Structure formats: C-alpha cells, structure tokens
Amino acid sequence: MDYFKKYVPVAKPTIYHVIFMLAATEQWEIHGMDVITAYLLGILDEAIYMVQPEGFLRTKMKRNLMCRLLRSLYGLKQAARVWNQKIHAFLIKIGFVRSAADPCLYIETKRNIYITIWVD
C-alpha cells in the first residue's frame, strides 16, 4: 500500500476571488466545466492490484486471481494525483504556464486565458 503519493493540489479560494474580480472589471467571459470521467484518464506509474470485480469469474478460470490496474479508478487513493499530473502535462504541452502563486492556476498569455483546477 502506497498512500504517500496521494496529495493533489487544489486552487486557493483567493485565486478565485482575484479572477472573479478581474473578470468583473475587465468584462471577461467565464466558463466552467466538469470532467466527468477525469479519474479514469490517469495512467498509473506504480503497480496496484485489486480483487476481481464480482461476476468477473469465468468458467475454467482460476479463483482468487488479482487484477493489475493500468489506469486509475474512482475510489483509488492516488486517482486525483494521477489525473492532476495528466492535466498538468497537457496544459504545459499546449502552451500554458503554471503560476508561481498557485500550482492550480495556469496562464496562457497570448490569448489571455486563465485556467484554475479544482479536484473534488
């Protein structure tokens, strides 16, 4: 069991206050989105095993086999961290820069786009 690598940053409430204040004064558009299957997109770095799901057993298959997870699942302690690593890599790849003030604030200066990440 590895519970040491489960930390995931979330945007500070102060960042939201500043962004909403700037949006109101500069008349920016604000869009919100929810990535419904976010935790299922993360690829695991470490070996994590789980008991086979109920009803998975087939005829002539050995009992008490384990499944090795290749991707994260909801309920997995590391799922939020793994997804955060994936979204971070993607945002950096498309030109965003992580803010020094908050690790969940990404800024793209050419088009003046700000993205904050909140993992629930």
**What residue type is assigned to position 65 of the chain?**
L
User: What pLDDT sits at residue 48?
Assistant: 85
User: What pLDDT sits at residue 59?
Assistant: 62
User: What pLDDT sits at residue 70?
Assistant: 87
**What residue type is assigned to position 100 of the chain?**
A
The single-letter DSSP state of residue 55 is T
Taking the CA atoms of 17, 21, 24 and 28 in sequence, report the sign of the dihedral they define. Answer: negative
> pTM of this prediction?
0.77
Where in the sequence is the domain holding 29, given as residue range(s)?
13-45+72-116
For the stretch 66-91, pLDDT in tens is: 888 888 888 788 888 888 888 999 99
User: What pLDDT sits at residue 5?
Assistant: 62
Q: Please tell me the total count of domains within the chain.
A: 1
Residues of the chain where predicted confidence (pLDDT) is lower than 70: 1-7, 57-61, 63, 120
